[in-house]
Amino acid sequence: MWFVFTIVYHGVALGALYVTMRQFPSMNGWDFREMFFLYALWMAGHELHNTLFFTVVSVPEYVREGRFDRFLVRPLDALFQMLTVPQQIVPDGLILAIATLAAATVAANVRVDWIFVIFVPLVIAGGALIDLGISLAVATCSFWFIRIDTLRWVVMSLEQDFTRYPISIYTRGVRIVLAFILPFAFMNYFPATFFLQKAETGLHLSPAVGLLTPAIGLAWLGAAYAFWLVGLHHYQGTGS
Amino acid sequence: MEVLTEIGSLILRVYILRALWTALYAQNAAPLNLPLHSMITYATVAMLMSLILEVDGTRLIREKLREGTIAADLMKPISVPLYFFSDGAGQTLLHALLVVPSLLFALLLVRIDVPSPAVFAAFLLALAVGYGVNFFLNFLMNCVAFWTLETFAAQLIVRWVSDLLSGQIIPLTLFPGVLGRIVFALPFAAIYSTPLLIYVGVIPSSQWAASIGAQLAWLALFAVLSVLVWRAASSRIVIQGG
């Protein structure tokens, strides 16, 4: 059932993109095949995050029900304990994402050389870390607001929207935010620009910045972790 | 807090749609019947409509089935489906209030075509019928829970498919050839596509009657189906402990 769920979720997004781009073949110089690759790269990082780190998303639930408090009295980092909550890992989304990325690589005629082989897994891992940073920041908000279901849902859908198109379609301020403040552009736009050997027309950076994704992922996760620690310090429990 | 998040996300999505369509129209030939301003109007009004249409008014059925409290409702001397409808309509009205501030903020970012009063009246009528079709679709999906007890995943799938096929994400006129004929023939088109295409003038006044007639046919079909499914469902209800 959940496999169908994942297929339909991504299928609808790609279907809408395909139909739109039959009518409008160029999006700031990107054709459908390149957009497909762009989407597949985001999807791989996102699904890797969903497979390994999904328990972070349940932090608000733990907080609400008072189950979070037991992590605080144990002599281990609370986030580490949260990430290692026993759960069933179902990698079907990840498998689908890798298959999609392989198809997109062929469709977009991406040259598969040693740089590709080394850096694509690193970029996917970096993308998953960026995603984890976002989840962590959202989860941290639950220390103050307790119920954040809507926020979680909104951030998830905005992430999908803002990673779907080349950032050059946005105004300059938004491009800068997407590159350096909420680094969604490093999940797929910069790396895709590099692998597709396109000119980067959003911020006129060298396409090679796309290879920095793993470093950006670590830095962003570090910032989110600092925010988490502040939240943890503030945390008072819900009394339940 | 919830309201602020919802309006904030809507503003961002209006910003994205403006950026998207502006970029696409700047570099490609525009489709004949949908110039850029119509497309932006279409997408923005679709987003405002989704505030109303994405409320699942009959979610209560699923919850009450899971908790078993539906047994007590069925014993009361009321029409239970009507009770669900009123509950849904109430939630919808609450969300409809959000349309006004959302529209005002959206107008800071995009310009929306203002239709003539006659067009607007036809749009409202089609929207009301579309609301009915959407209501019964949700009702039928929730009634599946009488047999399966849980329908959340199935419902999300239907919602996503319906987003694409109802013309909420992109106008159905963009679908090519046979695919286009198929999506227009499906019931989903009655939910978003018909009111929106009336609003932007793709459906001319000479075809209003035919389009709204088609919507009404779907509404009637879904209503009859709902009655049949409800009868079958309420006679085989299983209470799982509660």
Instruction: List the domain boundaries for chain B.
Output: 2-235
- Say if CB A194 and CB A207 are below 8 A apart: yes
Q: Is the predicted pLDDT of residue A239 greater than 70, yes or no?
A: no
By the CB < 8 Å criterion, does B25 face chain A? yes
Average pLDDT for B8-34: 91
- Say if CB B164 and CB B177 are below 8 A apart: no
The span from the CA of A191 to the CA of A228, in Å, is: 28
The span from the CA of A175 to the CA of B206, in Å, is: 45
By the CB < 8 Å criterion, does B23 face chain A? yes
Q: Which of A123-132, B104-113, B153-162 has the highest mean pLDDT?
A: A123-132
By the CB < 8 Å criterion, does A61 face chain B? no
Chain B residue numbers touching A28 (CB-CB < 8 A) = 23, 27
Q: Which residue has the higher pLDDT, A203 or B213?
A: B213
- Mean pLDDT taken over chain A: 89
Chain B residue numbers touching A162 (CB-CB < 8 A) = 16
Chain A residue numbers touching B178 (CB-CB < 8 A) = none
Q: Is the predicted pLDDT of residue A213 greater than 50, yes or no?
A: yes
By the CB < 8 Å criterion, does B163 face chain A? yes
Give φ, ψ of A27 to 5 degrees: -115, 100
Q: Which residue has the higher pLDDT, A222 or B6?
A: A222
- Tell me chain B's radius of gyration from C-alpha atoms: 19
Using pLDDT thresholds of 50, 70 and 90, give the confidence band for residue B242: very low
| pLDDT at residue number A81 | 81
Of B9, B31, B170, the CB nearest to A154: B9
The span from the CA of A180 to the CA of A203, in Å, is: 11
Which residue type does A140 have? T
Q: For residue B29, what is the DSSP state?
A: P
Which residue type does B77 have? P
Residue labelled with tokens 């009205």 = B93
By the CB < 8 Å criterion, does A144 face chain B? no
Are the beta carbons of A26 and B163 separated by less than 8 Å? no
Task: For residue A112, give both structure tokens.
Answer: 């598969």
Min Cα separation B158/chain A (Å): 9
By the CB < 8 Å criterion, does A169 face chain B? yes
Q: For residue B79, what is the DSSP state?
A: -
Rounded to two decimals, the pTM is: 0.89
Cite the DSSP H helix spans in B31-79. Answer: 36-53, 59-67, 70-75
Q: Is the predicted pLDDT of residue B51 greater than 60, yes or no?
A: yes
Lowest mean pLDDT among A63-77, A131-145, B150-164, B203-217: A63-77
Using pLDDT thresholds of 50, 70 and 90, give the confidence band for residue A1: low
Task: For residue A33, give both structure tokens.
Answer: 């095949």
By the CB < 8 Å criterion, does B32 face chain A? no
Q: For residue A51, give every residue at least 6 positions away whose Cβ sits within 8 Å of its Cβ, in sequence order, or none.
A: A89, A90, A91, A93, A94
Chain A residue numbers touching B157 (CB-CB < 8 A) = 4-5, 8
Of A15, A16, A150, the CB nearest to B6: A150
Task: For residue A96, give both structure tokens.
Answer: 């689908």
Classify residue B224 by burial, with Cβ atoms within 10 Å: 0-12, 13-18, 19+: exposed
- Say if CB A169 and CB B23 are below 8 A apart: yes
Among residues of chain A, what percentage have pLDDT more than 90?
A: 55
Of the residues B1, B10, B13, B16, the best mutation for testing chain A's interface (the one with the most A CB atoms within 10 Å of its CB) is: B16
Q: Is the predicted pLDDT of residue A238 greater than 80, yes or no?
A: no
